[in-house]
Structures are given as structure tokens and as C-alpha cells.
Amino acid sequence: MRYVYLATFFVVVLTVGILGFRGSISSRPPLEVFPDMDRQPKLRPQDASTFFADGRADRPLPVGVVARGSMRADAAVYQGRAAVGDWVRGIPSAVTVDARFLQRGRERYSISCAPCHGALGDGNGITKAYGMGATPTFHDDRLRTMAEGEVYNTITNGKGTMMGYADKVVPEDRWAIVAYVRALQRAQHGSVADVPTAHKAELGIQ
Amino acid sequence: MSKLFPKSANRLPLQIIIYVFVLGGIVTAATNYYATPKYTRVGYAPVQPVPFSHTLHAGELGLDCRYCHSNVEKSGHANIPSSQTCMNCHSIIKANSPLLEPVRTSYETGNPVPWVNVHVLPEYAYFNHSVHIARGVSCVECHGRIDQMDVVTHAKPLSMGFCLDCHREPEKFIRSPELVTKLDWKHPGGVEGQLEQGKKFVHDWNVKPPQSCSGCHR
């Protein structure tokens, strides 16, 4: 009987030796015991597919097709263009600007813009240290007087070395970012007169 | 007539019964240890076509998860970014790096970079990223400290028991939705602080994570 236990012990050691312990790093795909249940004949987002010529499951919209509810006819809201072909000035009235909207703008700005443009909008984002060329500051006269529609268009389609963010930031959020950029510009050009009297003491100013 | 069986054979039936129990115990323990996602999935770190480092991009640079995985708040599926996303910076930074060749090729041809999916749920399980993000379940709860991974590794088992741990006691995990992508965030009040705030969120937001079968197997 002793030999049976010895043999069992040997098998256990062998098994642990081959299979290792939990959490060990491996580049082999996880074992699936019933793969026909785990992997079903259906397509998930961004799957590969042998059915279509381009090998993808995701299908691009055919040219000229607009999904229901996705019609973007309002040139001011969706392209930042005014009726006469110039850029719209101010945020289009179809978009409501309130504190919540600005907070949304701040959040979206921090995610998508701050890596290059910097948290203050001065063009000193983290990418500058890694070789991103001259990112302009928002606080010069050219950008302070730029029409809101043109800022919107820059987010949408990019400009110079900046690529468009149309695929990442939806139109509503682009306007929120435009509004927040205006807030950043305002903040950099504040004066003593802008500080409410009640808060002047905190800053040690008269 | 010689004895056919030695005297020790009298103990054999009992010894066999004991051995069967011991063997049963070993097999049960081994199955328990090896045949679960804690062993089969945790630690999976496939070799990617481009050695993209989350340590650098999400950790050192501090890029928000949503810079690249931009649809995660809107969609059930957390998207792998398009190669244009990479080119936003890499058209200028390290523009000629040979490691980035697959990205440049993809950007020029329009064919995707063949990234290898690390976290793949079984297809009989339904999971929606956006609803979890909206209710303050951080990325870190299921994906671990991605911002410290040079090579993305499957950190959590993502088994049914793992899902249910949180679905039964969401107050232990949920946080303010602004903090979902702050992977190093812990409630400053410790476990009690998290519980107290979590209970408030569960109540205020009316969080009722499904525990019924059809909640996830639909």
C-alpha cells in the first residue's frame, strides 16, 4: 500500500510540476472545456469574419446612408458653419450652456485634449516632453478671437498636425469642449476686478 | 495447502476504501484548483503585434483610459482604438519607429492592426461596459492595474463567481463615476469609508445588480 501512496504522490508532484500554479503568466490562450458554447457562431463588435472580403465583422455604412436619428442637417450645430459660409460666433442656440455642460466640457477636455494642449490650455501637455511639436497656446489673441464654429471645426476635422476627433467626441461634447476652452481663456485673462469682494481677503488683495 | 492470501489481506478492503477517499479528495482539490478561470484565464498575456505599453501610456503619461477606449461609456463593447488614435501622436512622436510599422501600415491601408483580445467572456454571458462605468464600477475591478502592465495580462478570473461577488455586494466596489478611470484610487476612509459611501450610492442611484440567471445569460 505504501507504494500506491508513493505513486500517487509522484503523480501529484508531476501534475503540479506540469500545470504550475494559479496566476502564472502565459501567452497561450485560455483553455475552454466546451468551446462550442464559449464561442458561438455569432459576430461581436470588432470581430474578425471570413464572410466579408475585408475580413471584418463590423460593416461600414454604405455611401449616402444615414441611420435613423443620425441626420445632421443643422450646419451650425454639426459643422460650426454660419448661414453665410463663415464660422458661427457663439455657441449655437440649439445647444444649452449651463454649469453641467461646462463640467462635461472640462471632463472631455481632460480626456481628449489635455494630453497635448495641457490642463490650462497653454500648449504644455505631457506629450511636449516626448517630442510633440509646438502646440499653440489658447491664450493669444488669434485663438481668443477665433470664432467658436472654427474651434468646433478644428476639433472635428483637425488642423495642421492635429488629427480630427470626430470619431471620438460626439458633436454635443465638442461644443462642451469649445465652451470649456472659452472658460480657460477667460480664466487666464482675469483681473483683480473679477474677484468677488467676499473672496478678496482669501487672496490677500484689496 | 498453502495459504492463498497472506493475513495482511484482511486489511485490504479497508485500505482500498480509504485510498479511494484520499484519491477522491486529491481529484476534487485538483479540479477545484485547476479547472476554474482563476487558473485557466488569470495570467493570460498574449504577444501583441505592437508591444504597446500601458505602463507608459496610461501610467507615466497619465492618458485617460477613454482617450483610446472612447466608446466605453456609450457602448456595451469597450472598443480597441482605431490606428488613427495611435497616429494622433505617433505621426510626430517616434514617427519612424520600426515597432510602430504595423500601426502605420494599418493607417495607410485601412486594415486593422491584428491586436489579440485578452479579456474574452464566454459568449453565453452578457456584459455591458457602459452601464458599469455609468454606475461607478471602475475599470480596475475587472481588469486590474492596467496602468502598471507593460504587457496586458488577464488579472482577474472574470468567472461567474467573480461577477456575483460584486452583484451581491455592490457597495463594496462602486465609486463616484468621475473616478472610474483612476485606477489607483481607493476610498480615503478605507474599507468603512467605501462601505458607507457605497451604501449611499446603491441607495441613491437605485442600484440593483441582477442575480437572476437571465440577467447575464440572455
- A206 pLDDT exceeds 80? no
| CB contacts, 8 Å: B91 with chain A | 161, 163
ipTM: 0.88
On whether residue A66 sits in a domain, the answer given is no
On the question of pLDDT at B1 being above 80, the answer is no
Task: Establish if A180 belongs to a structural domain.
Answer: yes
Cα radius of gyration rounded to whole Å, chain A? 28
Nearest to A172 by CA among A83, A67, A72: A72
Asked whether residue B65 is domain-assigned, the answer is no
| CB distance A116 to A127 below 8 Å | yes
Q: Is the pLDDT of residue A169 over 90?
A: yes
Q: Which of B143, B138, B194, B202 is nearest to B170 (CA)?
A: B202
Average pLDDT taken over every residue of chain B:
94
Confidence of residue B154 (pLDDT cuts 50, 70, 90): very high
The CATH number of residue A106's host domain is 1.10.760.10
Query: Is the residue at B153 inside a domain?
Result: yes
CA distance B33 to chain A (A): 8
pLDDT of residue A134: 82
Domain span including residue A127: 75-190
Of all residues in chain B, the percent with pLDDT exceeding 70 is 99
End-to-end Cα distance, chain A: 95
How far is B131 from B206, CA to CA, in rounded Å?
Answer: 13
Cα(A145)–Cα(A181) distance, rounded to whole angstroms? 12
pLDDT tens digits, one per residue of A89-130: 999 989 999 999 999 999 999 999 999 999 999 999 999 999
Q: What is the mean pLDDT of residues A16-33?
A: 89
Tell me the three state secondary structure of residue A47. Answer: coil
Q: Which residue has the higher pLDDT, B146 or B11?
A: B146
Q: Note whether residue B188 is domain-resident.
A: yes
pLDDT at B121 over 60: yes
Residue B10 Ramachandran class (φ > 0 left, ψ -120 to 50 alpha, else beta): alpha
Structural domain of residue B169, as residue ranges? Answer: 53-59+72-80+118-216
Confidence of residue B2 (pLDDT cuts 50, 70, 90): low
Q: What residues in B contact A174, CB-CB < 8 Å? A: none
Contact A130 B93 (CB under 8 A): yes
Q: Cell 490677500, residue?
A: A204
Asked if residue A199 belongs to a domain, the reply is: no
- A5, pLDDT greater than 70: yes
Burial A112-144 (b: 16+ CB within 10 A, else e): bbbbbbbeebebebbbbeeebeebebbbeeebe
A160 closest CA partner among A185, A132, A139, A183: A132
Q: Is residue A107 part of a domain?
A: yes
Assess if residue B159 is contained within a domain.
yes
Q: What number is the average pLDDT over the span A144-160? A: 94
Mean pLDDT of B22-34: 94
- Our count of domains for chain A comes to 1
Question: Is B31 domain-assigned?
Answer: no
Closest alpha carbon within chain B to A43:
B123
Task: Note the pLDDT of residue A194.
Answer: 85
How many domains does chain B divide into?
1
Task: Answer whether B122 sits within 8 Å of A32, measured CB to CB.
Answer: yes
Residue B202 has pLDDT above 60, yes or no: yes
* pLDDT at res. B15: 92
**Does residue A172 belong to any structural domain of this protein?**
yes
Asked if pLDDT for residue A198 goes beyond 90, the answer is no
Choose the closest CB to B61 out of A27, A40, A126.
A126
Residue A165 lies in a domain: yes
**What integer pLDDT is reported at residue B190 of this predicted model?**
92
For residue A36, is pLDDT > 90? no
